[in-house]
Amino acid sequence: MVCVLLAGCGGDAAAPRRPVAPVAATLAPTPIVAPPQPPERAVAPPAAEAAPPEPTPREPVAALPPCPTDPRDHEQLPDHVVQLVALSDGMTVVDLGSGDGYFLCRLSRAVGARGHVIATEIDKQLVRDLDQRIAREHLSNAEVLFAPPNDVGIAPGTADRILLVKVWHHLPDRAHYAARVARALSPGGKVVVVDFKPGGRHGAGHGIMPEHVLAELKAGGIDGALVAENLADQYVIIGTVRAAVRAELKK
């Protein structure tokens, strides 16, 4: 009974096994789902660039009338003298001892509307005459100042150029006056002296030797030099303030 049972149970013989399906075969592949994409935004076409506004037409600037002529022009050569003064737009120029204002119109044109012309005189009647001339010739950038005989009559460091035409030989204390000129000049400013030599054909007993002018300017702190010119019986000296004197004036 026991043996029959053992034989029936398989004894040494192996019981048949159930086939096992591979793991991969039993797992269905997971489908790959792409993430949702945001809806495309409509892009507006680039706007056409606005055309720049048309410039406002500018009013034409009226041409300035020519400066009045004078019988002295053929000898004094005012345009030539003003060229030697070397003015530019916006400068301040002093016509020292302006007299009847012979140079004012040309000086006014040379410095332009942004510039400044100052005419000085020690005679009150001449001051009134100069005011009338400025009004008559419409020199809007010019003015007249009454100046004392021993001073330039303007604030220190004001003038880019100081012009003295046939005036220097009239000054009483020229070395002192040269120091006042140096004080009135701006940094880089220049003084221009135009005068006669004594005994010249046009000097009529007036004038001063150029070497005396150079010495008097030097005594006042100004280094000067004669420059080439085309004037009859006149010479031109242009001077600048010495650096050491300029440094002292700043203190």
Per-residue pLDDT of 117-159, as tens digits, reads 999 999 999 999 999 999 999 999 999 999 998 899 999 999 9
Q: Both tokens of residue 77?
A: 């050569």
Strand partners, 69: none
CB distance 68 to 105 below 8 Å = yes
Task: Name the percent of the chain lying above pLDDT 70.
Answer: 73
CB distance 162 to 185 below 8 Å = yes
Specify the pLDDT at position 65. Answer: 83
The total domain count for the chain is 1
CB distance 134 to 160 below 8 Å = no
Q: Is 45 within the bounds of a domain? A: no
Specify the pLDDT at position 198. Answer: 87
- Adjacency order of strands within the sheet including 116-121: 142-146, 116-121, 92-96, 159-165, 185-196, 234-241, 222-227
Per-residue pLDDT for 17 more than 70?
no
Q: What does the DSSP assignment read for 87-117?
A: --TT-EEEEET-TTTTTHHHHHHHH-TT-EE
Specify the pLDDT at position 9. Answer: 40
CB distance 65 to 109 below 8 Å = no
Residue 240's pLDDT band, with cuts at 50, 70 and 90, is: very high
Q: Is 103 within the bounds of a domain? A: yes
Q: What is the rounded average pLDDT for all residues in the chain?
A: 83
CB distance 174 to 184 below 8 Å = no
Q: Is 221 within the bounds of a domain? A: yes
pTM of the model: 0.75
Specify the pLDDT at position 87. Answer: 97
Specify the pLDDT at position 21. Answer: 47
Determine the structural domain holding residue 186 and report its residue range.
Answer: 74-250
- pLDDT 10s digits, 66-101: 899 999 999 999 999 999 999 999 999 999 999 999
Q: CA torsion, points 165, 137, 119, 158, in degrees to nearest 10?
A: -110
CATH of the domain at 145: 3.40.50.150
Specify the pLDDT at position 26. Answer: 43
Task: Name the percent of the chain lying above pLDDT 90.
Answer: 64
Residue 247's pLDDT band, with cuts at 50, 70 and 90, is: confident
Q: Is 152 within the bounds of a domain? A: yes
Residue 31's pLDDT band, with cuts at 50, 70 and 90, is: low
Rg (Cα) of the chain, in Å, rounded? 49
Q: Is 25 within the bounds of a domain? A: no
Q: Is 231 within the bounds of a domain? A: yes
Per-residue pLDDT for 216 more than 70?
yes
Q: Is 59 within the bounds of a domain? A: no
Helix 174-184 to helix 210-219 angle (10° resolution) is 60
Residue 56's pLDDT band, with cuts at 50, 70 and 90, is: low
Helices (H), the chain: 2-9, 23-26, 73-76, 78-85, 104-111, 124-136, 174-184, 210-219, 243-250
How far apart (Å, rounded) are the C-alpha atoms in residues 224 and 213?
A: 9
